[in-house]
Structure 1
Amino acid sequence: MPFRIRVSSPTPVTGTPLEMGDADGIGRRVQLTSRYLTRDGAPWIPVMGEYHFSRDLPENWEVELRKMKSGGISVVAAYMIWILHEETRGEMRWDGPRDIRRFIQLAQDVGLEVMLRIGPWAHGEARNGGFPDWLQALPIRHRSNDPAYLDLTRRWYAGIEEQVRGLFHTAENPSGPIIGIQVDNELYDDGPHLAALRDIAEEVGMSASLWTATGWGGAELPHGRVLPVYAGYSDGFWEESDTGWPAFGVMHFTYSTVRDDLTVGADLREAPAVVHGGAALGADDPWPFATCELGGGMAIAYHRRPLVDPDDVTALALTKMGSGSAWQGYYMYHGGLHPIGARSTTQEAQATGYPNDMPSRDYDFSAPLGAAGTERPHFHALRRQHLMLDAFAAQIAPAAATIPEPVDGAPRWAVRSTGTSGFLFANNHQPAIAALEAIDGIRFGVQFDDRELTVPTRPVRIASGAHFVWPLRQRYGAIPALTVTAQPITQRTTEEGTVVIFAAVDGIEVELQLEGVRASDVSGAEVDIDDGVVIARPHAAPGLACEVHVGDTTLVFLDAAQGDAVWRGDIGGRDSVVIWQGSGWFDTTFRAVVDDRSREIAVFPPLEEAAPAELPREGTVFTRYEVPAASASRELDAADFPCAPVAPVRRGGSSNRLSAPRDADFADAAVVELAVHPDPHEGERSILELDWTGDVIRVLLGDRLIADQFWYGRALEIDLTPYAAELETTPLTLQAFAWSPVSPVYVDPRVRPDVREPELAIHSARVRSLRTVALA
């Protein structure tokens, strides 16, 4: 018997009581309904990614923003971290990596819109939460309506406004890229202060279609003045070192209308979270469910070092989507480095009264895009979801979530529906420490307003870790209603017809249920009729040749790996779909990052000029080409550490947690040198990948700390490009402490060393060269 739910037409959308949104008549207007956002009146699902411009180098911004855009991001979010701009009181700086105006203009050039998170307090694992030391030390009531604090905030906001003037999206400037502003962060108990912050921002000249504040932790928010935005993480560095998988994790892998997680940032609160006014859970809020911090990975603290897997990120994101999310926002989407200021390092630390010691430099976050620009597996898998949200927002955004009651042995699933059609979301993934088992014999029964649908018609096995979305009775080109056991990615319409790209689910047969078409209209599949519905199963296995044709509509079913390799963007002014199982990005073309072996790339429509060697066709849609190999990496000679010293064990901070080694401790660290000797012909960017085991490592060039890491099972990546000239004559110095066999630090059990003696080793040191081939 199938697992069943009944869906019905959702309640009509209404306006919201929020004081925001563009007036009618404004170009590219952004507005809110009670359930979703609109852009120029059409349903719109923003996909937002956090990238801290001040934690990267300006010379990297444009390419990294292009990668974000190519990953399906439509809005870039960025904290303004006050200490980085005014470390010394009265000396407000906007030069170099602080140049917010240049960053926003580049985002606009790339085609991204901007959400400014203006603080004053930002957190973001920054020193004092982003407050300069001089501000932190003042005898005022911080983060309150103390007039002295508000005066300083006004000066900070005015400084930001002066830099970004003319870049706000307004009636007079409809092309302005800044569409949203977030005030403060994680403020739980002072709604009037948040309202005052918005007032001050507007008084100094800031304008935004959307005003937001973080709603998690049962936050008290000013009625009507801000849109609550929420978080969801698969793990948290803020938990204790003896915590396994945190208890909050389950809610983020389970479909639910509950929006709030009371535990995010809870280690910085003096008392447990309290829900204010009963509305913070969000199920009945008359505004869209919006997120700003879906965990793109996780930061690493000294005492606790989570190992977040790519599927943890993609399953969590898909679960929020199926639960009704109208705005997918990731923190972090792009990792970075904590800058070292003139007076201090700028990371969160116990020395400044915080509970956690963070690395002095490392803020990679295991994000989809790493601090060195590396495109991680979840960058590609998330892109598959983002392309779907872009192509089918008009169908997904208005659809309301229906979530069945939990049943023993049932999968976790939900349907977003308009009453007669919808999308089925299923998630059978949790982090490895609490992995879900495979489930056999699964069919889903969905009762719509006019008929019941069972999908698939034959029971299937849902593997452990599987997570997917299937369309239910959706219109695609000439097909009035299609239900299929494959995930839609994107579609493109040409003069010849419509092409729709899907990704199959590993281990589940592709089955189509077509309503409103004749069996004779279908080719490329075995066809049956069941109660007037055409049931079709493709002749070919998922891949480029797996095509089903219905009239002038072509459905292409890729396998799961190819589904994660779909890109969409302009090549020479042509809207193009690319299948490339590697890194890359779009600018005026597609730039494929090449490596040590030749690879195949498939493009629709075909390339027009300067094409690489064409390969035989598979199917009628994509043209295949061979991209030649290029030398992309070299191994370095890495000496063994001469000894394996263990760092002193200390506790400190506001929660008495384990403390990182202090600067003076590194006089006793093990030390080796690593000569790099850059090759001037190596490529456009050179990344050092250091695979090592231990506790803490620092990498110095001369006397400058350029990188560090608390070991947690992943390689340390360092962008060597800015240091190329120095590295010709100066080796890197590595200072490290060993992993202790009795360490009380939390490291994921899958990688935690099982040793009897302290362990400190460099397993490999490799320089990876970034080279690209441009398609045309």
Structure 2
Amino acid sequence: MKASISCDARDAHLDIDGSHLRHWGGSAPDGRVLAATNHHLTLDGAPWAVVAGEFQGQRYPRSEWREGIRALKAAGCTMVSSYWFWNLVEPTPGTFDFTGANDIAAFARLCAEEDVWLQARIGPFNNAEFLLGGLPPWLYGMPLVERSNDPRYLELVGRYYAAIARQLDGLLWRDGGPVVVVQLENELSHAPNDWRTLFGYTATDHRGPEGAEFGKHMSALRRVATDNGIDVPFFTMTGWGTAGDLPGDEFLPTYGGYMDLHHRPGPNARLTTFGGAQESAQTYPCRGRLPIAFSELGTGSPVRAAYRSMSPPEMMVTTALTRLGGTESIFLGYYLFHGGTNPTRGDGFGWMTKEDTFSLRSYDFWAPVSEYGERRTSFYRTAPLNLFVREFGTELARQQSMPVADPVEDPDDDRLRAVVRADADSAFVFLSNYGNNTPLTGRAEVTIEVGLAGGEVRFPREAGLSVPSGGWAILPVRLDLGHGCTLVSSTAQPLARLGSADRPCLVSFAPTGRPVEYVVAHRGGNEEVLTSTGRSLIVATGHGEIELVTLDRAAAEHAQLVTRNGNKWLITSPDDLTETPAGIRISRFVDLGRPDRAPVGVRVLPGPTRLAAELPAPRLDPADLRIEQLSESRWLLRVADGVILDPDDLWVDVAYTGDLCRAFDARSGQLLADDFQRGIPWRVKLGRFAEALAADGIQLRVEPLVDQNRVQSGTPMLLDSRQDVLGEARVDGIRPFARQSAIVRPIGWS
């Protein structure tokens, strides 16, 4: 089916003004300056593009924090966003615990070492499907009103903020640290505290003030934060579900959207469109006065008994794509980017989840990185978009979002969705063909027409352009290539700028498997049409050469941008890539007992250079893994005496029939992990629990599906009810494997 996209962007223009936001931002000791305009944040006067991923240190083993941060970097994230939960760091009034996974200072130092920014989301209330949203349980019994301007409540918040400030001393931007953004509160007057989870029958809560008091409370929280030493360039607050006007220009409001909170079809399918003027005015009331930033572009969904989604990767990328194209934003933030595990309190059986219908331990969210560190398809599907924002944020920052002729506003409309971000001289065309509620028809022949102040651009001219069902693309119009040349149009999506001023290199990728077209205008105005099927193209100019490199989509999705010692590389491989001081680590899952040394390799651009290495054999001998079947539904796993495991030395896929599977420490009886049945094997990094495996082992216990309607006991002597069992409970099999790694170093690495 054909599709024609047309946009009149001749009047596209943004008035960039930061005069009313001079109180935002701040300087670092080395002279770097963060500031803001009405449309974007800036670093040293230039537009500052941000890609943030949520990764919660308190829901992840401290020993694996660095690897989690590196995984976000590998996906193109430049900032780690992390909730910090008050009820974990102040378990009893006035007594603070910043040890173990509560050590926010250690987490911030790792962000600095890995060269990523940190957004600390410190509450006091966070939601995050966490017990009481992070509020301490002892607040309920105190003579105060939570989430209000009650002086007694604000005094306790101040004590908590002061403790956070002491931990972050030397780690804030003003000190040269990575903490540049702090979010206060979350979903004020919108999300419930859920006191009933802890206190049971009839436990009311106060979600927050409304009307004028709403803004006053946010102002009070900022004042309490700064008075207690939390001084950062930008304070943020959630901009959805607000119960009153925002407090002047004190906060950067952030936004989001989840396509997969409930069963489909659902109302959030509107996120598949780029939004109309009415939606924009309602959703972004400060548009044009304050920058639009996103903090919760949904990657998945919290798993609970009634909804066990495995969110399609197209959901995540489409949500981010349509929000980026439909606004003037260059600040993307995903929730949740890295899954985690809920901690416990007290004796190890104090559950910290919002409600008992959620997994007690797992907070996997079907995120791009699982709660054990596995990179899922959504990790790779979204990586090219993240790189695009990083590499071309400067161009995006001056471009206005312009509607196409007859735009799609009904999410059930089968047509190709499109929008254009443009200024007077250049543009990017955003295309999306994902429908969420129902699959959209693939478009075999797409034509595009964009009117700019300097003239009209129509493409493709010779090659075809198609967008499959579920596909997407961002295509350039009049992109500067250097040497006086302009990329008039292309059917390939820009990914990165490499090379040097003498020989610039533009790396793009083909949205589909078709040959791609580049239309290049030279300094004198002459145009040439170039077609590539994957090879590099050299454009000769009077001032040197320009290289155009075209990757296929798979290579682009696995590409990682690395800057080191003045070198800038784009490195791609079918396997997982992680930047480390020693080099680029290549990782792959390998079955235990595999005798051969599997070869792995990477492609390095500019080049082309190919580097290869061999993966070592797994350290754990299959004979050293002892599996005992206690019953159909209960299996015990141990390792032989003397076996020492690193976390990646043992992963297992557990196939089971039943409603959910749990893993217990067989010695203490404590719950380590759990999984609601989704129709696929449960993948667990058992090496994380090496101590339990080496002791009495880990027991897997499967529970059957039951009727949720309780049947009362018929005996007059017993206060009891029961649930009828509706299905089987058994472990069907276990596949053990390891994640093996090797290091390669591009020339110039040191």
TM-score exceeds 0.5: yes
Equivalent AA in structure 2 for residue 628 of structure 1? E
Three-state SS of the structure 2 residue aligned to 1:721 is: helix
Structure 1 residues 367, 350: closer, same or farther in 2, change over 3 A?
closer
Equivalent residue runs for 1:292-311 within 5 Å: 292-311=295-314
Equivalent AA in structure 1 for residue 553 of structure 2? A
Equivalent residue runs for 1:751-766 within 5 Å: 758-766=727-735
Is 2:430 aligned against 1:425?
Answer: yes
* Counterpart Cα distance in 2 of 1:569 and 1:563: 14
Q: 1:547 aligns with which of 534, 537, 548?
A: 537
8 Å CA contact 2:702, 2:730 repeated in 1: no
For 1:42, the equivalent position in structure 2 comes to 46
Equivalent residue runs for 1:471-486 within 5 Å: 471-478=476-483, 479-486=485-492
8 Å CA contact 1:49, 1:329 repeated in 2: yes
8 Å CA contact 2:629, 2:636 repeated in 1: no
For 2:556, the equivalent position in structure 1 comes to 563
For 1:267, the equivalent position in structure 2 comes to none
Three-state SS of the structure 2 residue aligned to 1:114 is: strand
Equivalent AA in structure 1 for residue 343 of structure 2? P
Three-state SS of the structure 2 residue aligned to 1:392 is: helix
For 2:181, the equivalent position in structure 1 comes to 180
* Counterpart Cα distance in 2 of 1:16 and 1:675: 64
Equivalent AA in structure 1 for residue 231 of structure 2? S
8 Å CA contact 1:443, 1:460 repeated in 2: yes
Bigger shift: 92-101 or 706-715?
A: 706-715
* Counterpart Cα distance in 1 of 2:353 and 2:414: 44
For 1:582, the equivalent position in structure 2 comes to 575
8 Å CA contact 2:330, 2:389 repeated in 1: no
* Counterpart Cα distance in 2 of 1:299 and 1:259: 30
* Counterpart Cα distance in 1 of 2:293 and 2:739: 36
For 2:207, the equivalent position in structure 1 comes to none
Is 2:132 aligned against 1:92?
Answer: no
For 1:6, the equivalent position in structure 2 comes to 8
Which runs of no fewer than 5 residues in structure 2 stay unpaired?
190-209, 591-597, 710-724, 746-750
Structure 1 residues 219, 484: closer, same or farther in 2, change over 3 A?
farther
For 1:123, the equivalent position in structure 2 comes to 127
Is 2:736 aligned against 1:772?
Answer: no
Equivalent residue runs for 1:337-736 within 5 Å: 337-342=341-346, 345-350=350-355, 357-404=357-404, 405-406=406-407, 410-431=415-436, 433-457=437-461, 460-478=465-483, 479-494=485-500, 497-516=503-522, 533-538=527-532, 541-542=533-534, 545-551=535-541, 552-570=545-563, 574-588=567-581, 589-596=583-590, 597-604=598-605, 621-631=607-617, 642=631, 670-677=633-640, 680=644, 684-702=648-666, 703-736=669-702
Three-state SS of the structure 1 residue aligned to 2:738 is: strand
Three-state SS of the structure 1 residue aligned to 2:253 is: strand
8 Å CA contact 1:46, 1:328 repeated in 2: yes
Structure 1 residues 685, 192: closer, same or farther in 2, change over 3 A?
farther
For 2:236, the equivalent position in structure 1 comes to 212
Q: Percent identity?
A: 26
Aligned length: 676
* Counterpart Cα distance in 2 of 1:309 and 1:60: 27
Equivalent residue runs for 1:138-287 within 5 Å: 138-170=142-174, 173=175, 175-188=176-189, 189=210, 190-220=214-244, 221-236=246-261, 239=262, 243-248=263-268, 250-256=269-275, 280-282=283-285, 284-287=287-290
8 Å CA contact 1:634, 1:766 repeated in 2: no
Cα shift at 1:685: 4.5
8 Å CA contact 1:259, 1:282 repeated in 2: no
* Counterpart Cα distance in 1 of 2:488 and 2:630: 61
For 1:323, the equivalent position in structure 2 comes to 326
Equivalent AA in structure 2 for residue 308 of structure 1? S
8 Å CA contact 1:369, 1:376 repeated in 2: yes
Cα shift at 1:631: 3.6
8 Å CA contact 1:50, 1:77 repeated in 2: yes
* Counterpart Cα distance in 2 of 1:194 and 1:256: 29
* Counterpart Cα distance in 2 of 1:641 and 1:546: 60
Cα shift at 1:58: 1.4
8 Å CA contact 1:676, 1:732 repeated in 2: no
Three-state SS of the structure 2 residue aligned to 1:434 is: coil
Deviation >6 Å, runs of 4+: 258-261, 633-641
8 Å CA contact 1:594, 1:772 repeated in 2: yes
Three-state SS of the structure 1 residue aligned to 2:152 is: helix
Equivalent AA in structure 2 for residue 738 of structure 1? P
Cα shift at 1:43: 1.1
Structure 1 residues 307, 681: closer, same or farther in 2, change over 3 A?
closer
Bigger shift: 379-388 or 700-709?
A: 379-388
Structure 1 residues 218, 98: closer, same or farther in 2, change over 3 A?
closer
Cα shift at 1:504: 0.3
Three-state SS of the structure 1 residue aligned to 2:440 is: coil
* Counterpart Cα distance in 2 of 1:5 and 1:121: 44
Q: 1:83 aligns with which of 67, 80, 87?
A: 87
For 1:657, the equivalent position in structure 2 comes to none
Equivalent AA in structure 2 for residue 202 of structure 1? T
Three-state SS of the structure 2 residue aligned to 1:333 is: coil
Cα shift at 1:279: 5.8
Cα shift at 1:136: 2.9
Structure 1 residues 359, 112: closer, same or farther in 2, change over 3 A?
same
Cα shift at 1:25: 9.3
Equivalent AA in structure 2 for residue 178 of structure 1? V
Length-normalised TM-score, structure 1: 0.81
* Counterpart Cα distance in 2 of 1:20 and 1:260: 30
8 Å CA contact 2:297, 2:335 repeated in 1: yes
Q: 1:106 aligns with which of 101, 106, 110?
A: 110
Equivalent AA in structure 2 for residue 321 of structure 1? L
8 Å CA contact 1:218, 1:280 repeated in 2: no
Q: Deviations over 1:11-42 (max 9, x none)?
A: 32112645742258983222221112211111
Structure 1 residues 401, 691: closer, same or farther in 2, change over 3 A?
farther
8 Å CA contact 1:218, 1:260 repeated in 2: no
Equivalent AA in structure 1 for residue 486 of structure 2? P
Three-state SS of the structure 2 residue aligned to 1:334 is: coil
Cα shift at 1:450: 1.8
Equivalent AA in structure 2 for residue 394 of structure 1? T
Cα shift at 1:468: 1.1
Which runs of no fewer than 5 residues in structure 1 stay unpaired?
262-277, 352-356, 519-530, 606-620, 644-669, 745-755
8 Å CA contact 1:594, 1:628 repeated in 2: no
Bigger shift: 433-442 or 359-368?
A: 433-442
Equivalent AA in structure 1 for residue 508 of structure 2? F
Three-state SS of the structure 2 residue aligned to 1:691 is: strand
Structure 1 residues 709, 683: closer, same or farther in 2, change over 3 A?
closer
* Counterpart Cα distance in 2 of 1:155 and 1:104: 21
Equivalent AA in structure 1 for residue 744 of structure 2? L
* Counterpart Cα distance in 2 of 1:291 and 1:466: 22
Three-state SS of the structure 1 residue aligned to 2:375 is: coil
Cα shift at 1:573: 6.9
Structure 1 residues 768, 739: closer, same or farther in 2, change over 3 A?
same
